[in-house]
Structure 1
C-alpha cells in the first residue's frame, strides 16, 4: 500500500500529515529515506520508521489531553521561537501528534491531541456541534439578564452565533478556578469581576471573548474545562495524560452522531437543564 496510507492507518498522522513527514525526510523504509509520495510498502515485509522509531500497522492512533497553561501558542512549531504546546506533549514519541482546535495564548484548559486525522477533522467541522464549556472571569458585575443576547444567539462582525447556554458562576466556583484573582480584579471596572460559564457548539476565532465583549464585559481570564464527553478534571496545569479506552469510545460515538441535527438540539436542551 502507499506509504502515507500505511502511516495513517498506523495512527502516526493523517494522510496529509504523513505526506508532510515524508517530504521532511523523517520517514524511512528499510533504513532509506522515503520522500517520494508515490512510495509503496509491503506490510509485514518492509520496515517503516519515523524519526528512527519503527511503526507497526496495529499500533493504533494516539489520543491525549493537555491542561494548557497560559503563555503557550497552540501550534506544533513557531518560527519566532515563542513557547508552544508542542513542548508540553510527547511529540518525539508520537511524531504525527496534532492539536484538535486551538486555545488562545492566554487561555488555559483542555486541549485534545491525536494522531487520528479523520477524527480530528470531524470534531473540528463547524456542522458537528461538539459542545465545549468555557469559564470566563470578566470585567464588571454581570446581571443574568445581560446574558440573554448570548442565549438567543448574538450577532458578531462575522455573522450570527448559535444560541449559547450560559450562567453566572457562584463565588465558590470562582474561588476554585481562580484562587488568586486580585490582579484580574484590579484590572476590572471599579475592582469588580464576575465569573461566567458559556457553552459553545461552534468554534470561531476568539468567539467567547468577542461574545462577552459585545455585551460590555471584556474577558480577563478564560479557561476551557470540557470538550464533548471529555472533562479536564484534576489534571495539573501543564500536564498531559492519555485518554482512557472509554473516553476514546465516547469521543468516537460523539463524532459519529454529532452531525445529526437531533444531536445538536438534545445537546442544547441538556446544557440548559
Structure 2
C-alpha cells in the first residue's frame, strides 16, 4: 500500500474521527515504530510500519481484492462444491490470490465477464435479485428476429419458472471494440440485452421461447464495469475507479451501466407524411394545439396563413368595441341585452324553460 497521512490511516482503522486522531497525535499519544509522532502532515505506509496509540497497535482494516475474469466456454464459474476435476474461473487467477468467490455466474457454455472478490457486502448487493442491478449481454441468434419477437423479449416472456421482467433489447450492428472473442460461432445477428434479474439460463430460455434460439452468449458488463480489453481466459484486477463506480452504483449515486455504443442504439425512422408514435414520437394532439394552422388543409391552409400574417390578436385578447355594443347586441322584450343563444320568443333562452 502507498503512503498516506497518519491521521487518515488511524481513522480508517476505527481509532476515532480524523479530527480526534489529530488531537491524539498532538498530545504525543501516537507512535510509529516506537517513535512519537506529533506532526500532522506525517505520511506512512501502514504495511511497512507499526502504529500504536497509548502503546496499543492499531488494527489495519481489511483490504478487499477485486478481479474481472473473461470466462471462456467450457470453464465453470461456480468454484464451490464438486467440480469433478473441471477448470474453474478461480484457476485462471494467480496462485497467491486470496480466497475469492464469483459475482454473476455464467453457465458452462456461456462466456464473458465474471467478477471475483472477497468483499461479501459488495457481492451480495450485486447478486441479490432485490437490487436489480443491470448486466449487459451480447447474444447471437441465427437470423434477424421479427419486430413482434423483439417486443415480446422486451415486455416479458412466459417461462416454466414464471414471466420474465421487462428488459432492454436492441439489434447490435457491431460488437463493442473492446470485446475480444475467441473462435466459435460468429455468423448470425447479435442482440444487445440488458437484464436486471438472473434466473438460470434465462436468456437462452427467452430467445428459444420467441423462436430464435441462442447460438452464443457473451456477458459484456456488470453494472458500469465491462470486460473491455480482457481476452478469454485472462484476468485483470479492477482499478480504483472501477471499484468506486460499483460502490456508487449500489449506493444509488452512480451510473448503473456503461454508455450504449452507437451501433446498438435504435435508429429512428424519418417522418413521412405525418406524426408517428414510433420510437416515442408525439401523437400529434398536443402539437396541433401549439402549431395551430400547420395542420390546416387545402384552401383553408392558405386562408389561415393570411389571417396569421395580418398580425391580428386571438379572439380572447381582442378589445371590445364599446361604440357598437348597443347597436348589434340582441335584446329581449324587457330591453335587457340577451346573453343566451336560445330562441328570442317566450322569455329568452334555456334558463326560462320549465
Instruction: Measure the CA separation in 1 of the matches of 2:114 and 2:231.
Output: 13
1:99 Cα deviation after fit: 0.4
Structure 2 equivalent of residue 81 of structure 1: 85
Give the alignment of 1:141-160 within 5 angstroms: 141-160=144-163
Instruction: Quote the residue 1:62 is aligned against.
Output: 65
The unaligned stretches of length 5 or more in structure 2 are 1-12, 14-50, 53-58, 267-354
Residues 70/101 of structure 1: CA separation in 2 closer, same or farther (3 Å cut): same
Question: Does the 8 Å CA contact 1:100/1:120 hold for their aligned counterparts?
Answer: yes
State whether residues 100 and 111 of structure 1, in contact with CA within 8 Å, keep that contact through their aligned partners in structure 2: yes
Alignment of 1:227-238 (within 5 A): 227-238=222-233
Q: Which has the higher contact order (CA 8 A, sep 6+)?
A: 1
Using the TM superposition, give the Cα deviation of residue 63 of structure 1 relative to its aligned residue in structure 2, in angstroms: 1.0
Q: Hey, what's the Cα distance between the residues in 1 that align with 2:157 and 2:180? A: 26
- Of Structure 1 and Structure 2, the greater strand share is in 1
Residue 106 (structure 1) aligns with: 109
- Name the SS of the counterpart of 1:208 in structure 2: helix
Corresponding residue to 1:138 among 130, 135, 141: 141
Partner of 2:175: 173
The match for 2:94 is 90
Q: TM-score, normalised by structure 1?
A: 0.66
Cα drift, residue 91 of structure 1: 5.6
Structure 2 equivalent of residue 205 of structure 1: 200
Answer yes or no: is 1:251 the counterpart of 2:246.
yes
Check the 8 A contact 2:180/2:229 in 1, yes or no: no
Aligned residues: 206
Mapped partners of 2:104, 2:155: distance in 1: 25
- Of 228, 235, 239 in structure 2, the residue corresponding to residue 240 of structure 1 is 235
* Root mean square deviation, CA, Å: 3.2
How far did 1:141 drift?
A: 3.4
Unaligned runs of 5+ in 1: 1-9, 11-43, 46-55, 186-192
Alignment equivalent of 1:225, drawn from 197, 220, 223: 220
1:122 pairs, out of 122, 125, 132, with: 125
More helix by share: 1
